[in-house]
Amino acid sequence: MNEAIYEKYKRAGSIASSAREHGANLIKEGASYLDVVTTVESEIKEQGAGIAFPANISVNELAAHFSPRHDDTALVFRKGDVVKIDVGAHVDGYIADTAKTVEVGTHTYDKMIRASREALNNAIAHIKADIPLCEIGKIIEDTIASFGYKSIDNLTGHSLQCYTLHSGLSIPNVADMLNRSKPNLEDVLAIEPFATDGAGHVISGQSSNIYRYQSSVRARFIRDTKARSLATKIHKRFNELPFAERWCADISSHPDSSLKRLIFAGCIKQYPQLIDANHGIVTQAEHTVIIHENDCEVTT
């Protein structure tokens, strides 16, 4: 990795970390989901970075993949909510991905929040070039189990590359002995343990309001001019990074109908909400790291 790319990863990490903490501090009883995510995303842009994906607000049994619509003004945090805030920033495509959990006004789930955070810290302490990633999964699973909770078996961390949020490697959160992959020197990874008192397995729920452009040969057969124009604008503006429904308001007068047509045509992927199968509470912690020979460097 040359020095210029390294500095971009570091800059993205610093910005994402700052935005994460700012967003976490805004999560209070009665605060609006929409206000929190728009503030976080504005901070990322004001600091000179791009938004790598819509700020995620995942509450209670929802583990990942939710961001409010442009008109979700009634969604507010309630006392006792367990909130995961997941934030991504990029500098010229070089991404930082980070998350933390906040409990609103109570301390019922402090132990579970510590479980995911300690699992992350232990994984970071052991990960390095050429270590089998199944060993990292075992460390995460064992740490979370030591607190009396389950690690979610079908959510993983992931490698990052320029303008690619999920670029190949998966970092398991359980002892997956079939995953014999090893990170290479200078790989960039997002490590994200999830702890739960539920099933330890997520299922797909309703729409997350999060999408991603993907090339499709069927795109050429889209007859609706508004949908075709929106596809072009989405690809130009967001590349193939995830984007939010609310971001389309200024590039399309009727984004909902156009997005539906683009999903049908295979041009747009729609992410589902990911929910613990037994509706258990979920906590998350996440950092982005750069892999070195004998350790790693946290950027977030």
User: Catalytic annotation on 97?
Assistant: yes
Q: Which residue among 192, 197, 245, 276 is the active-site one? A: 192
Active-site residue, from 97, 118, 153, 197: 97
- 3-state secondary structure labels for all residues of the chain: CCHHHHHHHHHHHHHHHHHHHHHHHHCCCCCEHHHHHHHHHHHHHHCCCEEEEEEEEEECCEEECCCCCCCCCCCECCCCCEEEEEEEEEECCEEEEEEEEEECCCCCCHHHHHHHHHHHHHHHHHCCCCCCHHHHHHHHHHHHHHCCCEECCCCCEEEEECCECCCCCEECCCCCCCCCCCCCCCCEEEECCEEECCCCCEEEEEEEEEEEECCCHHHHHCCCHHHHHHHHHHHHHHCCCCEEHHHHCCCCCCHHHHHHHHHHCCCEEEEEEEEECCCCCEEECEEEEEECCCCEEECC
State yes or no: is 166 an active-site residue.
Answer: yes
Catalytic residue among 166, 201, 235, 292: 166
Q: Which of 41, 43, 81, 86 is catalytic?
A: 86
Catalytic residue among 61, 81, 153, 158: 158
Active site residue 192: yes
Looking at 176, 197, 286, 287, which residue is catalytic? Answer: 286
Does 176 participate in catalysis according to the annotation? Answer: no
Please identify every residue annotated as catalytic.
86, 97, 158, 166, 192, 286
